[in-house]
Structure 1
Amino acid sequence: MLQVNFIEENFEQVLEGLRKRNFAHAESILHTVLDLDKKRKSTQLERDQLQAESNVISKRIGLLLRDGNKEEAENIKARTSEIKSSIKQFEEQYVTYEEELKQVLYTLPNVPHSSVPAGKSADDNELILESGTIPALHQGKKPHWELIKDFDIIDFDLGVKISGAGFPVYKGKGARLQRALVNFFLDEAQKAGYTEVQPPILVNEDSGYGTGQLPDKEGQMYEATADKLYLIPTAEVPITNMYRDVILQESDFPIKNVGFTPCFRREAGSWGAHVRGLNRLHQFDKVEIVQIAHPDQSYEILEEMNLYVQSLLNKLNLPYRVLKLCGGDMGFTSALTYDMEVYSAAQERWLEVSSVSNFENFQANRLKLRFKNEEGKMQLAHTLNGSALALPRIVAAILENNQDENGISMPEILQPYLGFDRIG
């Protein structure tokens, strides 16, 4: 959530950033924020002035009663009653303005970093680099949704029977491949200094608002309505919320956590050939890295996280590219996002497998995640997160890129985890 004082002091910068996102009615909404804040402050000032007057009168009444001037004291008490009534009205107005202001601020996305390119869609994202060699497959190459049937390792029909579309059942070597990837990603994260956590996969509303999934992505989240809980769309939500309402010390940075969880997304409106098979699911597994950082170090850490995710793709021997997302393709809470995509030689297209983002203090402001700086003053921390990695499209690329006429070879790095080197 943007800070009101930041909007007021950097109005043109914020306006330009929201326009870079193609955010509708940006100027009007920003003026609404400042107007509500002005009303809120004015109401608070009126309330404080009346409270000060009430304190003076109360002291005066005490002196009068001490001196035996009961009649005059009773006359002054009438004014005290009027003031108390007015104070109550101003307090109610203040609460109303503050709630209205909060709701408007919830609609504003984060301001993009100055390096974020302008653009409206994925077509306008900036290519940073490409790495790896795209494999030349045999004439009879197949997409993964055919390979999984040939080798009976993932069953979508069984998933439909149990739950519905988008909930596959992993079987035999398919299940072992999932487990191997999770363990590999967690082990690599531990080597990189991340502390593993196993968070809940159901979160409350405060957690959803804290990281920005609510109210922005409410329609994409599965809700346990009886308990007012939400199934997580990513481990970012519970892991980052571990630090909600926390005051850190500057010496605590950087804080590095990694967690493996299933993730749940309704993906309402998704259809077409680009979402076949593992390309888009309602339930999938993901290993997530989260860092809480000092504001002066967060962009250096973002680059470090970017390189870390690339190292995983290199070890899996998957061709990949890195994109810097344009303003129109960025997530609501992000200030700068890198996407990593792997190339599927069977589908002959790029598949997104990771996003690494710096949210600056946008989430921290919602979370009230602060630290004491060297001067002993409170300051908002910066939060970052990244997929390291999401499994479905990684599995799709491994199956498709390593196929031959007789089966599918497994990446060498995974073989100790798998206990086998081929499927088929």
Structure 2
Amino acid sequence: MNPLVHQALHTETIELAQNQCLSGLLRFITAGSVDDGKSTLIGRLLYDTGNVAADQLASIQATSQKRGLAAIDWSLLTDGLIAEREQGITIDVAYRYFSTARRKFIIGDAPGHEQYTRNMVTAASSADLAILLVDARKGVITQTRRHAYLAHLLGIRELVLAVNKMDLVDWQPSIYRSIVDEFNAFVSQLGRHHVQAIPLSALNGTNVATHAEAIPWYDGPSLLEHLESIPSRRDADQTPMRLPVQRVVRVMMGNGANGATEKEFRGYQGTLASGHLHVGDEVEVMPSGQRARVTGLNIADQALQKASADRSVVVSLDREIDISRGDMLSDPIQLPRVTKGITADVCWLSEQPLQTHGKYLIKHTTRSVNALFDDLIYRVDVNTLAHEAAPESAVMNDILRVKLKLQQPLFVDNYSDNRTTGSFIVIDPVSFHTVAAGVII
């Protein structure tokens, strides 16, 4: 698509959302290299939107003074782990919740150090938007490209390039534009994305919550203004119904006294991965292929007529079918793919290299199966996006396209169609450590 047409369509979407008083929940992550200011930016957002309690503010003020800092260290609001405080870096995903008059937000503060790229993958898997921070003094670096590629891999199409610490380069527009041009040139190779570049200073709060009039050469939105205008992606409701069974619920009804007859209630508990489920709907059970109608939907003691994506429910059916954990209730018209072999893009997360002939476990929704890496098709160079054909193995943070051979079938969709049924993790069956995360193509 022509970039100008794409921009016009994007602008039209933004204006429509604004006219409809957009208030949906927005999930976003911050990512970047060490010391780019991610935690500081989040702390500043929380403070400027009035989401910092008085006792929290007093605590971080006192801690900042003890460290001899002239200004408040806003990163203290998110870097909660002792190890993080000692090292001055983020090593785990810190989730924070805040709201403005227009909408609610969930932030995932992803680690910047290359060693913890796996945490960034976790945070990005449920995000609608990614804020990629760049230190204006350093520009676009390898970790910037890696995070942009991972965001692309995990289906995030809304990107914010936050060029931070602009105050340390005297707000020079030439430096900002050079960084933006280099980043856009890289992202344009990945496919269709929308990138909103924003110059800011997280420490000072410039262009974070409100538009900075002091930057005459920038006429775009502040970071918060942009976040409030982006439509959240709730496409899970629009995709075919999938309910992975997590647990079979059996309850004996009646006590047999005074001639009462005991009767077993059987239900199937799980979280609706996508679509809608109504009482009276017909479902197909995978892998048996048998069909039944829904006679009841319950959550705790509450009976429902309808359940939507992300809702945990107990489903009762009009006939007895042999169903167990790992099976799936599906839309009988639009079924998932039943397969014992998948092609996927994976990010290797373990310090232990991939063993091409080793056995692994694939955890997909509520189902776990034995698997082998049947073929390593190529490895991606995140700097050039070049493909290294047929690598012999993989080390931590490598991104590869692979073929996996499964001992038992999985019920899958492409990741581009369904984030839940299109993703999986790889587990070492000896240590039970998660060694990779993948998306099905």
* TM-score band w.r.t. shorter chain: under 0.3
Give 1 or 2: higher helix fraction: 1
- Ranked by relative contact order (alpha carbons within 8 Å, sequence separation 6 or more), the top structure is 1
TM-score (ref. length: structure 1): 0.23
TM-score (ref. length: structure 2): 0.23
